[in-house]
Structure 1
Amino acid sequence: MAKENSLKIEFKSHPHPRNLHQHGGAESPRSCSLDILLQRLRAIDAQDDKFANIMDVVGEFGTFQRRLVALNFIPTFLASFFMFADIFLFTPQKPYCNTSWILAVGSNLTEAEQMNLTLPRAPNGSFLTCLMYMPVEWNLDSIIQFGLNHTDSCQNGWIYPEAKRRSLINEFDLVCGEETNKEIVHTMFLSGLLTGAFLFGFITDKLGRYPTILLSLLELVIFGFGTAFVSSFNQYIFFRFCASQAVVGYAIGSSALLTEWLMGMHRAYAFILGHCFFAMGVVFLTGLAYSLPHWRLLFLLGGTPIFPLICYIWILPESPRWLIMKGKLEEAKQMLCYAAGVNKKTIPLSLLDKLQLPGKKVASASILDFYSNKDLRKLTLVMCSVWFAVGCNYYMLSLKIKELGVDTYLTQLIPGIMEVPARLCCIFLIEQLKRRRTLIVALFQGAIMCFLSLTLPSELKSLVVLITLLGEFNLAASITIFYIYASELLPTVLRATGLGLVSLAWAAGGISSLTLVSQNVAILPIVLCCLSASVALFSCSSLPETHDQPLPDSLEHITPHTRSISEELSNEDVLSDDVTEEAAKNTILNARLTSIGHDGLSSPSLHSEEEKEARRRTEHQAPA
């Protein structure tokens, strides 16, 4: 039924041949609307999407689909917590040497008296950090009378009398030569995204969407919530590395699952709302980090909601599209019937019998096809260039706003709040501009803001902060659009693997940004952002539009076997005037309607007045 409705809608949108002559020079005979129709017919001819027809019966967005979307919100909300928690755990501290040795001779000394007797002072009168007076075998009166002279580095650890919060710095004494570069922690996290994207992308296509999501949630329980119990900084880095793998693993698995269960704009709405919950999770994390005095409490309270998600074992469905591609036809039918039952629908057996197992070539699809298949390779390279540019510009803006000295909590709270309307705007943009143009517009505006942010002088702090926030606004929208677009472009047999490969480009863009910024050469970040954005925008224009198109299931569905119909109709030998073109159009349309009827999916509505009129015009114009 989906094909019938789409064909009738397209047919109604075209005027009668007599009206075409009345437009004069308003539009050419070979109008854009004709090209759109021909592209739709070509897509239907290339892929007989019987799954879409079944989903029309199951219900495009019934109770089952709404429940599936709602189940995605909680882990997505928590994913932002596990991704950005590091930002609040490196609160700057002033370390002073632990000189408790003097308490052996003066047990009643206050902390201030202890520091006054055992710590050297700077010329301005403040205590020096990382230095102490060496212990002596004197009594307290002698120390007070003569003072101490010999200084050395801290021998027994450090104290933090001015610290208001317990952070990683004063927990593991990351001071006085033991400092760790925060960018190293970010790099390790991005490395986890790299390995997790590749690993979970492969697992998702190999084992299924359902087990991958459960595995990623289990890893979040162990290494996300478990971060609160680490006993060393090296353990912390390892746990964060594994948690980042789980975050990207869930993102890939859930994206594939939602893409294959939802249809049309419902799919786009689900992605957009999910990303809004991700942004709200950042706001929740900021408030929680601000209110809690200890970093371990942050992981304990923030990670606790992950435990109820164990119930996903019983309520999360598998993707029927993936089951069919893997030859599990009966399981796919059972899953579809279950979904129809939840939606209070019934699937006719004759319609279920239309589902067929894929060929051997489909079943043997592997990661090597990203190299051997020319069209898939080109598609993946373009998406990687776009994702690299988005990741590079996004991280560059994040680093820029930190350099301006803006409060850490504000740098997360304000963008987190702004990203919600940024992603909601995608709903309007997708409806008006479709996927590809929306992505191009959002990325272009984000790249312009990133360029201005990097080139404007720091003295214009307020203006630079505003431009940086606008850049993050646009790039947040481009991230959401890209997830929708990439999921629809990739075929079911390699959808998750492809999402994993393009996610490598995101992490690579982030690591490149961190590396270039650390070089302290101002021109390098500008060159990287401009070059990556230019390549991405140029290559993105070659991607096909996926709006209202059937999802590709196999590699053949993204491969143009023959020359396009529009090219054939544009040939001068075939078309000599407007009438011949209209006749050819109606001939193709009738052929498609006939093929639908032979497939057993026709209904009395196919014999509508529009179809009869189309056939009458075809018979009348054919002799011409």
Structure 2
Amino acid sequence: MLLRRLRAIEAKQDDKFATIMDAVGEFGTFQRRLVALTFIPNILSAFFLFADIFVFTPQKPYCNTSWILAVGPNLSESERLNLTLPRAPNGSFLTCLMYLPVDWDLDSIIHFGLNRTDSCQDGWIYPEFDLVCGKEPNPEIVRNMYLAGLLTGSFLFGFITDKLGRHPSILLSLLGLIIFGFGTAFVNSFHQYLFFRFGVSQAAVGYAISSASLITEWLVGMHRAHAIILGHCFFAMGVIFLTGLAYSLPHWRLLFLVGGAPVFPLISYIWLLGDGEETGEFPNYKNEALIEGVDGEDSMPGRILPESPRWLMMKGKLKEAKQVLCYAAGVNKKTIPLSLLDKLQLPGKKVTTASILDFYSNRHLRKVTLVLCSMWFAIGCNYYMLSLRMKELGVNAHFAQVIPGMMEVPARLCCVFLLEQLKRKRSLILTFLQGALTCFLSLLLPAELKSPLVLIIVLGEFSLAATVTVFYIYTSELLPTVLRATGLGLLTLVWAAGGISSLIVVNQNIAILPVFLCCISAFVALFFCFKLPETQDQPIPDSLEHLSPESRTMSEDMSSEDMLCDDVTEEVARNTIFNATMTNMDQDSLSNLSLQSGEEEIDKQED
């Protein structure tokens, strides 16, 4: 444990940003506010993404026979239906046939009855978009439009997030949730509905990519993992929130109006994330005097959640990066020593450039990306296969959503324990192996064993929910800052491709194909997953130069070896850690002395 702690300290010292974040405050008021502001959009993203399940539930429309109200205006609804609609042999009303109107009075109609039937002449009662009587929507069209939005949104927002920055992308995705999410309640046709669903899926995946990138680059160590886990827990709570509303509200438009109302507080994010004048002063806010070219507080950024300093650094905006770091330190009531800010320099004093082509041209990045793609594809295949299997069993839509949603919260919280005990790679292998096995069993068991199948599917979704959370953390730490969002977008695209492959295979109605797809994809993903380096307690890469295969392999070998060196005793390890700690304390003391002397000189000049 001492040796592992020593290696973690050494890795942290190599990461200049991690050292600065120690001075800023690893998880102070600023970071807690950053994480808290991601909760509401996560809930709404889940709500809008899965609302289709409850929109196109089986309806009971009837032909519009309001013509009889002209001769019997006082008829109740049940009397009107009994007189004007034919019945099926089982006694239920036929939804697509009606008795033709006649020029009789009400007593004649009641006495003789109506006999001539035809299809609905004046539309239907309670249908939506007239999607009845041969015009029912194909569920695959809605699902494919949702997946198409994920495909285009992952690629588009990945590029925007790396090109323009994290917080502009977050604002754009939140604007999409407001327009396309809440606006779905006001569509007038089925084609408009499809367009709005396409837009909201783009916005949801865009927010997931940009917020994950921002959190990854502002937080360090286990705080980063805990923040992403909490965000995924609130996403699962959004599914539960949706299911409860859909069960209690009678109409889907009302569902979008009530459930989408929380999008309006997101308008305040324009000011919370946008530029503006900062009012008031931060206590202990002395950092601006340390930055060259900063004359005072008026030049500091006025947004509550500034841009990622790592992204600013890689874009050559060194002054802005120092400003936002000092801003965060001011919120946390900390002071960054001058020596630490001086260490924050551009590599080679050049702006780091990268493009999507680097995923092919950079050898190490190409290998890592291929492994990640195989894993994301396998996760998408198995997750969608379990969902489709649940639908084949004819399980109630509310039950099929609320039970997995409730299970996903503890599943994601279990990731905290797994990551602390097994680290990233082993946790990923364990959770995905369990999810793949349950998916394999669900495809082999016959549909007659409904109760055991439902239990197995729920356990599989439990495991795969944990897998997605662990892998999201793992992926964010493996990809460099200059291409982190683009890489997350590409991998989300691969995940959607896995879901589309599952739909295509299931529609072939060949029983062996789903089993074959899940087994092959899972085997390939697990085989290549062992090739990935461990990222826990390691500095995250910022540029392509930080992805040196030699350094990553060496660090993994050091972290994976146990206490094999007999000449390194426990006492030596303790002394090493103590000396390293004392050295850091001496450096901080010198920095603080220099800072104090600099302030005294400034005061003398002012006098």
Give the TM-score band, short-chain normalised: 0.7 to 0.9
After TM superposition, the structure 1 stretch with the greater mean CA deviation from structure 2, 517-526 or 424-433, is: 517-526
**What's the counterpart of residue 537 of structure 2?**
548
Give yes or no for the alignment of 1:384 onto 2:373.
Answer: yes
**Could you tell me how far apart the structure 1 residues matched to 2:53 and 2:445 are?**
26
The offset of 1:565, in angstroms, is 5.6
Secondary structure at 2:38 match in 1: helix
Is 1:523 aligned with 2:489? Answer: no
> Who is 1:50 aligned against?
16
CA–CA distance in structure 2, aligned partners of residues 406 and 365 of structure 1: 48
Verify: 1:10 aligned to 2:10, yes or no: no
Counterpart pick for 2:257 among 300, 310, 333: 300
Q: Give the Cα separation in 2 of the matches to 1:457 and 1:130.
A: 36
SS at 1:327 equivalent: coil
**Residue 319 of structure 1: CA displacement?**
0.2
- How far residue 113 of structure 1 moved from its aligned partner, in angstroms, is 4.0
Aligned pair partner of 1:413 in 397, 402, 409: 402
* Structure 2 match to 1:348: 337
CA contact (8 A) 2:86 2:94 kept: yes
Any conservation in 2 of the 1:122–1:128 contact (CA below 8 Å)?
A: yes
What is the TM-score with the length of structure 2 in the denominator?
0.83
Whole-angstrom CA distance in 2 between matches of 1:289 and 1:12: 50
Secondary structure at the residue paired with 2:386? Answer: helix
* Matched-pair contact (CA < 8 Å) for 1:97–1:129: yes
> Offset at 1:338?
0.7
Residue 272 of structure 1: which of 221, 226, 229 is its match?
A: 229
Q: Does 1:73 align with 2:29?
A: no
Does the 8 Å contact 1:449/1:467 carry over to 2? yes
Of residues 311, 318, 326, the one that matches 1:329 is 318
Partner residue, 1:621:
none
Structure-1 separation of matches of 2:222 and 2:409: 19
Contact 2:436 2:518 (C-alpha < 8 Å) held by counterparts = yes
Letter in 2 for 1:472: E
* Residue 521 (structure 2) aligned to one of 512, 516, 532: 532
- One-letter code of the match for 1:54? I
Whole-Å separation in 2 of the counterparts to 1:124 and 1:345: 76
| Structure 1 residues 85 and 350: CA distance shift in structure 2, 3 A | same
| Displacement of 1:173 | 2.3
Aligned to 1:485: 474
Q: Is the 8 A contact 1:98 1:158 kept in 2?
A: yes
CA distance in 1 between partners of 2:47 and 2:113 (Å): 51
- Name the stretch that deviates more: 352-361 or 280-289: 352-361
Partner letter of residue 130 of structure 1? C
CA contact (8 A) 1:327 1:358 kept: no
Identity %: 73
What does 1:379-458 correspond to in 2, within 5 Å? 379-458=368-447
- In structure 2, the partner of 1:28 is none
Q: Which amino acid aligns with 2:15?
A: D
**Alpha-carbon separation, structure 1, partners of 2:106 and 2:555:** 97
Residue in structure 1 matched with residue 487 of structure 2 by the alignment: 498
Q: In 1, distance between residues paired with 2:233 and 2:449?
A: 31
Determine the C-alpha separation between the residues in 2 that align with 1:103 and 1:11.
83
Task: Tell me the equivalent position of 2:352.
Answer: 363
Q: Are residues 520 and 137 of structure 1, via their aligned partners in 2, closer, same or farther at CA, if it must alter by over 3 Å?
A: farther
- The answer to whether residue 123 in structure 2 is matched with residue 130 in structure 1 is no
Query: What are the superposed Cα offsets for residues 71-100 of structure 1, whole Å, 9 maximum, x if unpaired?
Result: 112211221111111111122122322223
Pair 1:289 & 2:246 matched: yes
Cα distance change on mapping 1:511 and 1:120 into 2, 3 Å: same
Question: How far apart, in 2, do the equivalents of 1:127 and 1:395 lie?
Answer: 36
* Structure 1 CA distance for aligned equivalents of residues 162 and 333 of structure 2: 30
**What SS does the aligned partner of 1:132 have?**
strand
State the secondary structure of the residue aligned to 1:152.
Answer: strand
Q: Do residues 82 (structure 1) and 48 (structure 2) align?
A: yes
Q: Is the 8 A contact 1:223 1:243 kept in 2?
A: yes
Distance 2:27 2:16 in 1: 17
- How far apart are the structure 1 equivalents of 2:501 and 2:337? 54
| Pairs within 5 Å for 1:193-204 | 193-204=150-161
Deviates more, 1:463-472 or 1:104-113: 104-113
For 1:567 and 1:431, the matched residues in 2 are separated by: 17
**Deviations along 1:159-217, whole A, 9 cap, x unmatched?**
25xxxxxxxxx222211111001232122111111111000000000000011001111
Aligned to 1:235: 192
Alpha-carbon distance, 1:364 to partner: 2.2
Distance 2:477 2:370 in 1: 16
Residue 147 (structure 2) aligned to one of 190, 203, 207: 190
Go from structure 1 to structure 2 and tell me whether the alpha carbon gap of 1:133 and 1:12 turns closer, same or farther (over 3 Å shift): closer
Q: Give how far 1:117 is off.
A: 3.8
Find the aligned partners of 2:351 and 2:534 in 1 and give their Cα distance: 23
Q: Which residue of structure 2 lines up, in the alignment, with residue 339 of structure 1?
A: 328
Worse overlay, 386-395 or 202-211: 386-395
CA shift at 1:294, angstroms? 2.2
Q: Is the 8 A contact 1:322 1:493 kept in 2?
A: yes
2:450 maps to 461
Q: String of CA shifts for 1:505-525, please: whole Å, max 9, x gaps.
A: 111122222232233332222
* Contact in 1 for aligned 2:353/2:482 (Cα 8 Å): no
1:251 partner SS: helix
CA deviations on 1:106-156 (whole Å, 9 max, x unpaired) are: 444443444344333334443322122334455556655665444332221
Q: How far off its partner does 1:311 sit? A: 2.5
The 1:578–1:224 alpha-carbon spacing in structure 2 relative to 1, beyond 3 Å, is closer
* Whole-angstrom distance in 1 between the partners of 2:339 and 2:146: 51
Cα distance in structure 2, aligned partners of 1:226 and 1:89: 15
Distance 1:388 1:148, change over 3 A: same
Name the CA distance, whole Å, in 1 between partners of 2:553 and 2:67. 85
Greater displacement, 334-343 / 371-380 = 371-380
Distance (Å, rounded) in 2 between the aligned partners of 1:562 and 1:200 = 31
2: CA distance between counterparts of 1:104 and 1:248?
53
Query: Is the alpha carbon distance of 1:395 and 1:113 closer, same or farther for their aligned partners in structure 2, counting shifts above 3 Å?
Result: same
Counterpart CA distance in 2 for 1:567 and 1:199 is 33
State the Cα deviation string for residues 204-241 of structure 1 (Å, max 9, x = none).
Answer: 00000011001111111111111111111211111111
Alpha-carbon distance in structure 1 between the residues aligned to 2:452 and 2:363: 46
Aligned length, in residue pairs:
546
Contact 2:533–2:553 at 8 Å: present in 1 too? no
SS of alignment partner, residue 307 of structure 1: helix
TM-score by length of 1: 0.81
Deviates more, 1:332-341 or 1:398-407: 398-407
Helix, strand or coil for the counterpart of 1:75? helix
SS of the residue corresponding to residue 356 of structure 2 reads coil
Equivalent residue, structure 2, for 1:176: 133
Measure, in 2, the Cα distance between the counterparts of 1:387 and 1:309: 30
Please state if 1:510 is matched with 2:499: yes
Pick one of 242, 254, 257 that aligns with 2:214.
Answer: 257
Helix, strand or coil for the counterpart of 2:118? strand
Residue 247 of structure 1 is matched in structure 2 by: 204
Alignment correspondent of 1:167: none
Structure 2, unmatched stretches of 5+, are 273-303, 559-563, 589-607
CA shift, 1:48, in A, is: 4.1
Give the Å deviation of 1:568. Answer: 12
Cα distance in structure 2, aligned partners of 1:154 and 1:543: 62
Picking from 451, 461, 469, the partner of 1:472 is: 461
Amino acid at match of 1:317: P
SS of equivalent residue, structure 1 residue 548 = coil
**Matching residue's letter, 1:495:** R
Deviation at 1:578, TM superposition (A): 7.9
